Structure formats: structure tokens, C-alpha cells
Amino acid sequence: MTELNSPEQFRHKAGVRRMKKSDLKVDMTPMVDLGFLLIAFFIFTTEISEPTITDLYMPKDGDSTKIPRSKSLTVLLGNNNRIFYYYNEEEEAFKKGQIFQTFYSEINGLGNIIRRKQSELDKRKQLTIVIKPGEHSSYKNLVDALDEMLINGVTRYAITDPGKYDKRYLEQQKP
């Protein structure tokens, strides 16, 4: 608030009337209160927006589980952010040339392929995805693939090493 202190508005002298300049006093208390409220707000909101952590459950050692071809999708992570996928067994897909390339995109990329495969199955929970990061793929590519699993609600997925044919195919795709 502003307060105007003026004990006398006019001084009377012989024949001359002059206006006296008044002292101006500004109360900064509300401005200080607003500053502290803003500081408290930003401290509170930064505490709430901490990043979340994804849990990764690894299976126990033992016999491998056979997955029906109709309910599986294999994703190969190559170098330079390249993704390849196939639906059949590793050897069969390699020999028949049924390995396809895709990319990271919300609409036309890996997520779209996952959603298409889920729609082919009676229940969304039946789909099992095998993620095979190549020797030259980056850790970011693996995290992006795991993000696609979370976004599309895939509950059954596994991360394994590429097989003999997968490695051969990824080596052929190197630029």
C-alpha cells in the first residue's frame, strides 16, 4: 500500500502560494509475502515431479518356455536407432526374408506393430514380445523398447541375447 504523508498542503507566504512536495512511503510487506508464497510453490512442485523407475523382473535360471508363433513378436535392436521385427522362429524368418524394419514412432512405429498384433489375438495379455538388443545397439534403444511395452500394456516380454541368425542379419544391416 502507498501512503502519502503531507502535514501541510499549502504554505502561505506573502503573496505566493506554492505546493509543498509530499513524502511518499511504500509498504513492501505484501510483495515480500508474495515472494515467499512463490518460492514455497516452486519448491513443492519440484518435489512432486520426481522421475519414476521401471521395475525389471528377471526369470530364474532353468528351462526356457516355448511360445506359440501366433502369440509372439520378436524385436531386434540394431545400430543407429534401427529396429527389426519378425513373427516366426529365428531361422525360419531369416531364411524366408520375413524380417521387417520399423522405427520409434507413436503412430507408425513399433507401438503400432504391437497394437496390431494385440488386436489379432483374442486377449491382449496373450502377446509375448522377445526383445533382442544387438551388439551395436545403444542402451537408449533398449529403454525406448521397454517404454513401448509399458505404453501398450504388454505384460509379457523378455530381453534375451540375439541368436545366430539374428546376429548374422544385424551384421548384414550395418551401414
Residue 171: pLDDT band (50, 70, 90) is confident
pLDDT at site 152? 87
Residues 154, 97: Cα–Cα separation, whole Å: 26
DSSP of 43-70: HHHHHH-PPP----PPPPSSPPPP--GG
For 144-154, what is each residue's pLDDT tens digit? Answer: 999 888 888 88
Question: Which grid cell is 62?
Answer: 532353468
> pTM, whole model, 2 decimals?
0.63
Length, in residues, of the chain = 175
Domain ranges of the chain: 2-48, 69-172
Question: Mean of the per-residue pLDDT values for the chain?
Answer: 81
Residue 77: pLDDT band (50, 70, 90) is very high
Residue 108: pLDDT band (50, 70, 90) is confident
Return the CATH fold of 69-172.
Answer: Nucleotidyltransferase; domain 5 (3.30.420)
For 115-152, what is each residue's pLDDT tens digit? Answer: 888 888 876 678 889 999 988 888 899 999 998 888 88
Residue 175: pLDDT band (50, 70, 90) is low
Query: Residue 126: exposed, middle, or buried by beta-carbon count in 10 A (0-12, 13-18, 19+)?
Result: middle
pLDDT of residue 18 exceeding 60, the answer is yes
